[in-house]
């Protein structure tokens, strides 16, 4: 279907001839423009465009052009495609060449880039207070929190004199964000891929967020009750929604955190019985209920590692027998643990990792950091 669509568009946009002998075309993107319009205006065909878009994941970037981006499309002596130079307004350029061997995609620095600048937030009260005082937009402050929350407790870890250094290179969001604390330094660097867009990675090329395990138990007998809008409650003797997943297991079996995070609440609740709430990042909360007892020393605010003990299977609260009631909430909304696709930890592709590390090291050096 894509091929037929592109072929029809090519018929619509293609020039009737190349009588003028033109071999080089320059375009600048305006609002509403699409790449295929420029491609077809050179006389090139939809079949070739379709082939190019499938040749490399970086080609997907051409579907997200923005006003101010520029293109140079060069044809060979036979008016076939020779190369495309894509110059985004706020990102590194992309060179695409074409020959009998096929398409080749090369990320190169072929245009002057914006000079590196930086902003510094020095903590005196809180990130929100001091960030706004430093003139940092609220969206960027939210971006800092979203990325660093997996490694920094903003209510407990930050001390007066700690810093957040933001490096800028012409984009609306930082090219790097570095936390410099009394006990540790964490640096995150922006990297864009076609699959995941712009994300922030540490010096090893990984995002800070964790991967979630499906079950809080290392093994269990079965799932005795799943997520449903209507289930007959054996204690209350009536139908109501069941907003979690029940794992049948013997009393006293250890219950573990499904991902790293922090203890949000440890409580005794009439319905849940002994229950633990863990927060993971800024949006996700997991809940572990009907516990026979809590892990020793567990308290609110405590950092939790993935696979760390939080309690033991029991039947406290409204339960007829020993089992673990497990919930996942995203922004306060209950999710089905058997169906929800939780955010995964991302990694820089191996092919790009060396260049990423070199760029990160250079940036730190320019900021006077090791």
Q: What are the residue ranges in the chain where pLDDT is below 70? A: 1-21, 90-91, 108-115, 229-240, 370
Residues 231 and 253 in one domain: yes
Q: First-to-last CA distance in the chain? A: 52
Please check whether residues 196 and 236 belong to one and the same domain: no
What is residue 200's predicted lDDT score, i.e. its pLDDT? 97
> What pLDDT is attached to residue 12?
46
pLDDT value of position 14: 45
Q: What domain range includes position 234?
A: 222-335
Q: Is residue 214 part of a domain?
A: no
- The DSSP-derived string for 313-352 is -B--SS-SSSEEEEEEEETTEEE-TTT--PPPPPB--HHH
In a domain, 216, yes or no: no
Looking at the fold, whether 227 and 270 belong to one and the same domain comes out as yes
Q: Are 300 and 244 members of one domain? A: yes
Contact 243, 227 (CB under 8 A): yes
pLDDT of residue 7: 46
Rounded to an integer, what distance in angstroms lies between the CA atom of residue 199 and that of residue 344? Answer: 12
C-alpha closest to that of 120 among 91, 144, 139, 142: 144
Q: Do residues 231 and 324 both lie within one domain?
A: yes
Distance CA 27, CA 20 (A): 18
Same-domain status, 228 and 281:
yes
CA torsion sign, 60 to 64 to 68 to 72?
positive
Q: What's the pLDDT at 108?
A: 58
pLDDT at 19: 35
Q: Write the CATH number for 267.
A: 2.70.70.10
The pLDDT of residue 240 is 64
Domain assignment present for 215: no
Q: What is the pLDDT of residue 16?
A: 41
Residues 30 and 97 in one domain: yes
Residue 327 lies in a domain: yes
* CATH code for the domain in which residue 66 is found: 3.10.450.350
């Amino acid at each position: 279907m894509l091929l037929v669509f592109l072929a029809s568009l090519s018929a619509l946009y293609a020039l009737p001839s190349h009588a003028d002998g033109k071999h080089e075309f320059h375009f600048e993107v305006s609002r509403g423009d699409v790449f295929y319009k420029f491609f077809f205006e050179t006389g090139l065909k939809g079949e070739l465009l379709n082939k190019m878009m499938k040749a490399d994941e970086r080609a997907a970037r051409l579907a997200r052009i923005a006003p101010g981006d520029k293109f140079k499309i060069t044809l060979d002596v036979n008016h076939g495609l020779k190369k495309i130079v894509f110059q985004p307004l706020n990102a590194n350029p992309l060179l695409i060449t074409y020959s009998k061997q096929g398409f080749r995609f090369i990320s190169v620095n072929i245009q002057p880039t914006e000079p590196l600048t930086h902003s510094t937030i020095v903590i005196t009260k809180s990130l929100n207070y001091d960030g706004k005082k430093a003139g940092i937009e609220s969206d960027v402050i939210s971006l800092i929190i979203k990325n660093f929350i997996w490694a920094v407790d903003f209510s407990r870890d930050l001390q007066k004199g700690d810093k957040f250094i933001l490096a800028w290179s012409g984009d609306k969001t930082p090219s790097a964000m570095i936390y410099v604390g009394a006990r540790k330094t964490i640096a995150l660097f922006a990297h864009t891929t076609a699959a995941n867009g712009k994300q922030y990675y540490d010096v090893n090329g990984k995002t800070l967020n964790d991967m979630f395990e499906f079950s809080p138990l290392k093994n269990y007998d079965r799932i005795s009750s799943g997520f449903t809008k209507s289930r007959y409650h054996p204690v209350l003797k009536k139908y109501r929604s069941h907003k979690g997943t029940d794992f049948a297991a013997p009393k006293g079996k250890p219950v573990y955190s499904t991902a790293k995070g922090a203890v949000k609440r440890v409580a005794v609740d009439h319905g849940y019985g002994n229950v633990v709430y863990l927060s993971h990042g800024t949006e996700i909360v997991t809940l572990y209920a009907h516990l026979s007892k809590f892990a020793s020393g567990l308290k609110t605010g405590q950092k939790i590692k993935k696979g760390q003990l939080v309690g033991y299977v029991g039947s406290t609260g409204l339960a007829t027998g020993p089992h673990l009631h497990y919930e996942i909430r995203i922004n306060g909304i209950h999710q089905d643990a058997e169906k929800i696709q939780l955010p995964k930890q991302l990694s820089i592709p191996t092919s790009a990792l060396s260049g990423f590390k070199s760029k990160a090291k250079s940036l730190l050096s320019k900021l006077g950091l090791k």
